[in-house]
Amino acid sequence: MIINGVQIDETFAEAFPMKGTRVIITAQNLKWAYHSAQAFAGFATSVIACGCEAGIERELDPSETPDGRPGVSAMIFAMGPKGLAKQLETRAGQCVLTSPTSALFAGIDEGEKIPLGKNLRYFGDGFQISKALNGKRYWRVPVMDGEFLTEETTGMVNAVGGGNFLILADSQPQALAACEAAIEAMKKVPNVIMPFPGGVVRSGSKVGSKYKSLNASTNDAFCPTLKGQTKTELSPEIESVMEIVIDGLSELDIKQSMRAGIQAVCDIGAGGGVRRISAGNYGGKLGPFLFHLQEIMG
């Protein structure tokens, strides 16, 4: 398959089951909502070392938030319920409760309920106040700038992590420009995040290593500086490869996101130095979700 001079490899991205939730962070203005959300989603690129994967989904108009203030929706994913609940509570306590003028609400109502502000209320040292509205419980916790308003729980649902595609280009600037175009298009798709810095990862990995202490190591087959030293997947003209990883609430969400991103890259095309689109997989052994590139773009 060739789109605008870009070869779409006959391969698939391999993804795995996760648990996920969405939270809504509001503040006095959008700047402070972003400050809190960015801290909340910090150091959450990969469950391999971070314990979770998180990112900002989109910004919200005051008409879309529970308290009528500017806000940001953020999503967080982990491998299991306990891991997700722990990461959510820790990040909410350290990054939202602490952030000036912030408030915190559930972004998902369905699924199993997990604590959001349920335990954070104890920071109020007995001065916290509870109120139930429309079947939901909220807590008002006194803090030095006034009070921190938080919903008691949020919904945890089944999710999918590890959707991905690789962009192979003539140069590093061209690969990055293609990634930026892809991320811009993918941000318009709901229910997904791209958890790496700016949505892009340059250190794609393979399973295993020559060093016994490592479970993963550099994907040498896609490293341009190793063409003469390993079984390379790269033709001579390709000098840079970058990857975009996607987590989403469903298979369909990830497919739609991948399609939007890949199409944006193909719109740049061979004239912009993009040669191929490929994907990272482990022969179908890592997870049950297989996202076939040519099928998605067909």
Per-residue tens of pLDDT for the chain, all 298 residues: 999 999 999 999 999 999 999 999 999 999 999 999 999 999 999 998 999 999 999 999 999 999 999 999 999 999 999 999 999 999 999 999 999 999 999 999 999 999 999 999 999 999 999 999 988 999 999 999 999 999 999 999 999 999 999 999 999 999 999 999 999 999 999 999 999 999 999 999 988 899 999 988 999 999 999 999 999 999 999 999 999 999 999 999 999 999 999 999 999 999 999 999 999 887 777 789 999 999 999 9
CATH 3.30.70.520 fits 2-14+160-296, yes or no: yes
CATH number of 18-157: 3.30.70.520
pLDDT at residue 215, rounded to an integer: 85
Please determine whether the domains at 2-14+160-296 and 18-157 fall in the same fold group of CATH: yes
For the whole prediction, is pTM greater than 0.85?
Answer: yes
pLDDT at residue 142, rounded to an integer: 98
- Burial (CB < 10 A; 0-12, 13-18, 19+), residue 252, is exposed
> What residues does each domain of the chain span?
2-14+160-296, 18-157
